[in-house]
Amino acid sequence: MKKLIFFLFYLPSMAMAQHHTGVVDIPNKTSDQLYAAAKEWFVDNVKTYNDTIQTADQSGRKIVVNGKRQIEYLCDTVKTQMDIYFNLLVEVEENQIKYNIYSTKLQVVKGFWYKWEQANNYTAKGSRELLKQNGVKTKGMIVLKPCKKCIEHSKMVNGKIEAQLHQVVDDLSVALKK
């Protein structure tokens, strides 16, 4: 319970949605080659939380995947793991891919989960709702404002989340360039 409440103090600076779009040039590859290679890479390399591939539209050259990655960090002196759930849309064209990746949910392993929308509403009421959805009784609970140390910690975790999302795209790009 202490870990759960302790982590709640970190939510405010993690409120920025993790969302990235871009284009990766992959020379000398047709859209058919890129589509087949991307689809194969997703099946072999992305841990998913729904289906292996949510949508695969060969005629439109689009693939949508709901994936999951994990980060580790220290929460004070406690080694903590967090699952980062994400949605990745890849649009394939001749010699390039366009991507749109964003986090959809975070979950501390053996802990609570939340969506970015909830983190953006960091109020006493919002915090109570978050705790309730994770099975914590909130009657009489007092919600404190985050401290400077908590905000700094949140920024560090936020950086690790961003790095993982970028790593998904980098790993896919490397595989497609082979």
In 46-147, where does DSSP find H-type helix? 116-119, 124-133
Does domain 2-177 match CATH 3.30.230.30? no
**Whole-number pLDDT of residue 71:** 87
pLDDT tens, the chain, 178 aa long: 444 444 444 443 344 457 889 999 999 999 999 999 998 998 888 876 665 577 777 788 899 988 888 888 876 677 778 888 899 999 999 999 999 999 888 887 766 665 655 544 445 566 667 667 767 776 766 655 555 666 677 778 888 888 999 999 999 999 999 8
**Whole-number pLDDT of residue 7:** 44
**What contacts 104, CB < 8 A, 6 or more positions away?**
66, 85, 86, 87, 115, 116
CB 97 within 8 A of CB 175: no
**Whole-number pLDDT of residue 168:** 93
**Whole-number pLDDT of residue 15:** 40
Beta strands in the chain (DSSP E): 19-25, 47-48, 55-57, 62-75, 78-93, 96-108, 113-114
In 22-86, where does DSSP find H-type helix? 31-45
Max distance between CA atoms of the chain, in angstroms, equals: 63
